[in-house]
Amino acid sequence: MSIGHTLLGLLESGPRHSCDLKRAFDEKFGHSRPPRCGQGYSTMSRLLKSGLGVVHGARAGGGPERQRYAITEARITDVQQWLVTPEKPEPYLRSTIHRGAADVLDTRCAEHLRSMRARTERKRGGESADQLIWDRALFHLGADLRRLELTEARRDRLREGVAR
């Protein structure tokens, strides 16, 4: 999920100031994917330059001018298309570290389980729409965990066959 598409999706409900966008992003996604400092501003700047977003007024106050951003009707269609397009699978990765496969698999399994527990806890306190987001994340982690367990089982069978 790109941060740009996420910000555009948050703008679908109406124009927002950058601090409102940041707050909404943090509430919905920041706990599992915190953006780098200033990333929202740089991303919005790129979206404006590419015509995906527009400045929808600004408000001057005691501090710096606060711009309000909006998404154009044409771009709402782009966001809808992005939402229904399946994500490409992650490329197959090979470990370049000099550890045994068991150590790598054990570490990854432990991290997946930790991540699943944290997401399950967040899901418990969420609203229905948020629970759907957490379900998706949990299903992906669960499938990856099953793949890791299968890899470990096949590695064990391969080792037994080589030993014979």
Contact 18, 40 (CB under 8 A): yes
pTM of the model: 0.47
Tell me which DSSP letter residue 26 carries. I
Give the chain's end-to-end CA distance (angstroms, integer).
Answer: 46
Q: 98 φ, ψ to 5°?
A: -100, 65
Residue 89 lies in a domain: no
Q: Are strands 16-17 and 66-71 parallel, antiparallel or unpaired?
A: antiparallel
Same domain, 46 and 72: yes
Same domain, 73 and 120: no
Residue 45 lies in a domain: yes
Tally of structural domains, the chain? 2
Q: 60 φ, ψ to 5°?
A: -90, 145
d(CA 116, CA 118): 5
Print the domain residue range for 141.
Answer: 101-163
* 164 residues of the chain, pLDDT tens digit each: 577 777 788 888 888 877 787 788 877 776 666 666 666 677 777 877 777 677 776 655 555 556 788 887 777 777 777 777 766 666 555 555 555 777 778 888 888 899 899 889 888 887 887 888 888 889 998 999 999 889 888 887 877 777 77
Sign of torsion over alpha carbons 136, 141, 144, 145:
negative
